[in-house]
Each structure stands twice: as C-alpha cells, then as structure tokens.
Amino acid sequence: MSVSAGGDGVLSVAVPIAAVLLGAGPAQMGWLTALAWLPSVLFAIAAGGWVARFRHPLTPMIGADVVRFAATASLPVAWWLGWLSLPALYALTAIVASASVVFVVADAALFPTLLDDDRLVAGQSLVYGARTVASVAGSGAGGLLVPVLSAPVAVAADALSYLWSAALLTRIDRPAARTPPRRAAPVSTTGLRFIADDPALRGALGVTTTANFFNLMFHALLVLFLTRTLRLSAAVTGLVLGAEAAGALVGSMALPAVNRRLGMPRSLVAGSLLSAAPLTAIAVVAGPAAVVVTVVLVASVLSGVGRSVQDISVAATFVAAVPVPLRAQVRGAYQTISFGVRPVGAVLGGLAGQSVGLRPAVLLATAGGLLAFLWALPSLRSGAPRGPRGAPEAAAGR
C-alpha cells in the first residue's frame, strides 16, 4: 500500500505539471483535477457493495493495482506515438481514479482484519506515516523527473510502482473468508443509513466534506499559481507538494500523543484548523524569491501536519463507530459524499481562477477551508464516539 502511495505521489505531481507544460489554463486544470475525484461520486457506493461480495478484500485490491499499471504504462506509448495531449491526460486520470476507488474501499475492509481492536488506531498512524513517507518521495521525484526526463518517463516509473504493489499484496496472508451477501442492492444502501444514524460519523463527514471541497478548489489551481503567479520552477513546485506530505508524516507520528492529551474530538478540531490556516499565507505571499519559497514550504509543512491529524482522527472515529462487517459499505458511502464534492470544488476552482484570477481564487479557497472545523464543534460536548464495541478508548489510542 505504501508502494502504491509512492506511485500516487509521482502521478499527482507529474500529471498536473505535464498539463501546465502542454499549455493548460485554469479551467482545464480544474477539469483535470475533477476527473481524479469524479469516480468517487459515480462508483464508491457501488464499489462498497461490490467489494463486500468478495471473500477476501485482497482480490479487488490486486485487480485495481493491475488496472492502474496498465493505464499508466499506456502514457509512454502515447508519447512515443505522438499522441500525448490533454485528452490523454484526462483519460489516464479518470481510469486510475476509478481503480483507486476500488482499492481504497477494499483497503478499509482489509486493514481491520489484520490487527486486534486495541491496536487499530496505532496501526492507522503507522500506515499513514508509511504512506506519507512514500508520498514525500513520490511528490519530490515527480517534480524533478518531469522537467529533467519528461512526463512520460515519470509516469512510466509510476506504472512500475503499481505492479510492485500488486506483487506485494499477493504475499499477504489472507484473513478468514467472509460469506458474501447474496444481493448487492441492500448492501449499497446500508452505509448511507449507518452514517445518517451516527452523530459522530455525521460530524466527521461534515469536516471532511467541507475541507475536501475547498481543498480541491485550492489544489486545482496550486500548480498554476506556483509556476505562473509565484514563478517557481517545476522542480521547486514538486518539492513544495512534497513538503505537505512531509508535514503529514510529522502529524501522523504526533497524533497518538495528541489524541491522548486532547481527546479525539479536540484533535479533529485542531487538525482541521491547522490544515486550512497556513494555506492563507500561500495565497497572499509576495516578495523576493527566497521569501516566497520559505513561506510556501513552511505553510505546506504545517498544513500537512494538520491534514494528517484531521484524517487520522476521522479514521479513529470510523474505527470506533463502524463494525467490521459494515466497513466496506460505510466506507463506500462516506467516500461518495466526502470525495464526491472534490470534482465540484475542482471545477469551480478552475472557473474562479479563469474569471477572477489565480490569486483571488486561491484566497477564496483558503478562506472557505477555515469553516470545516465548525462541523466538529458538537462533538466537543458529546466526547469520543462509542461505537459497536462501546470503547472510546480504542479510538483515542488509550
């Protein structure tokens, strides 16, 4: 899974930078970013029901990696044939994103079967940290490979990472076989009903949905803003994107201690605020190149810290509230909503950048992201969620 995350890191930098080098404008960048998340709207609930029908979550995860390998490996071929274009990048993004939905939903069903209940949150932090290490390396490598060796070479390296990930997954001992449901339709609605009935999940969903909407407005324009408004090179842009992942690594290591000190609800509020607030500095920074680079890097690191604290706190809420047999379905429903707003945010960000300019649009996105924490405030009064085990301690890491 960490190897796959490294590939995602390369792709998340290589494709937007390649699009900029191909002459993409704000609106086109918005559509490209939207395609990375549109499958979450279209397929996540169905994927939850589909994954639940397999006896082992590993099977769809391996299949998803194979599809991502085939899709990314096709881009160098398109380059050699002279077909590399924005439509080719659109197609690649949509196919990889669709397979990633299946991978993420299946991962949510697999991971809890590998650890005891009292080790799940610590395990989530460890896995999150490993993934962010891979993402740091992938983002930095993507920023360096695109200008030096071209986008197709960077994407070819990414393709190999998916193949490696699939090979590693085949070596995992398969947990006890599940009895798949006979019909998919009831499974696909179970997740939505469960979220609607659980206050802790509703609050977490509000935080992530609001944050995702404005975060995608921001990131749809970020590469353009860094390269055209702030005039940073492609290599420095890749390092900036990697800096956010580095901050996420720090946050993942600190999260267990933060949760023990503050409790999960306060950790979620703190993570939400720290994720959004530093990005306003990126939106307003100006001056000498050294000042700009320093501010952007520091803000990216701090935002990454906050994002990981927020995300792992949400994951802890999920673990505490959702029984293991329902996690694939609930994850699919949750992802449909929280990830589903991302393409909308990306498209609106691109259109805003096209109509009012890059800096005002980026500032609007950062201001909106500051509102996400409001959804978590009711949980400060109710405390940590008591899930099916009635054990908030498990979620808080105590």
Residue 173, class by beta-carbon neighbours within 10 Å (0-12 exposed, 13-18 middle, 19+ buried)? exposed
Q: How confident is the model at residue 319 (pLDDT cuts 50, 70, 90)?
A: confident
d(CA 338, CA 355): 26
Residue 177 lies in a domain: no
d(CA 60, CA 189): 20
How is residue 229 annotated by DSSP?
Answer: I
Cα torsion through 393, 206, 42, 352, rounded to 10: -140
d(CA 93, CA 86): 10
**Most confident option among 142-156, 266-280, 331-345, 354-368:** 354-368
136: tokens are 């740091």
Report how many domains make up the chain: 1
How many Cα neighbours within 13 Å face the side chain of 397?
A: 25
342: tokens are 């991302």
User: Which residue's structure tokens are 């998916």?
Assistant: 162
Task: Please report, for the domain that includes residue 163, its CATH number.
Answer: 1.20.1250.20
Give the Å distances, CA to CA, from 140 to 169, 265, 304: 25, 33, 15
Q: How confident is the model at residue 184 (pLDDT cuts 50, 70, 90)?
A: very low
Q: What are phi and psi of 255, to 5 degrees?
A: -60, -45
Q: How confident is the model at residue 395 (pLDDT cuts 50, 70, 90)?
A: very low
Length of the chain: 398
Residue 182 lies in a domain: no
Instruction: Give the range of the structural domain holding residue 323, as residue numbers without chain letter.
Output: 2-171+187-396
Average pLDDT value for the chain: 77
Contacts of residue 318, Cβ cutoff 8 Å, sequence gap at least 6: 108, 201, 204, 327, 330, 331, 334
Coil, helix or strand for 172?
coil
- Residue 315: is its pLDDT beyond 90? no
Contact 131, 95 (CB under 8 A): no
In tens, the pLDDT along 106-158 reads: 877 776 566 555 555 555 555 555 555 555 556 655 555 555 555 566 677 77
Q: How confident is the model at residue 353 (pLDDT cuts 50, 70, 90)?
A: very high
pLDDT of residue 397: 35
In tens, the pLDDT along 40-65 reads: 778 777 777 777 777 777 888 899 99
Contacts of residue 95, Cβ cutoff 8 Å, sequence gap at least 6: 67, 68, 71
Residue 176 lies in a domain: no
d(CA 204, CA 320): 12
pLDDT of residue 225: 94
- Which of 274, 277, 275, 269 shows the shortest CA–CA distance to 380? 269
d(CA 176, CA 161): 28
d(CA 61, CA 59): 5
d(CA 30, CA 222): 10
Residue 283 lies in a domain: yes
Coil, helix or strand for 266?
helix
Q: What percent of the chain has pLDDT over 90?
A: 22
Residue 178 lies in a domain: no
Residue 181 lies in a domain: no
Residue 344 lies in a domain: yes
- Residue 27: is its pLDDT beyond 80? yes
**Most confident option among 61-65, 78-82, 234-238, 326-330:** 61-65
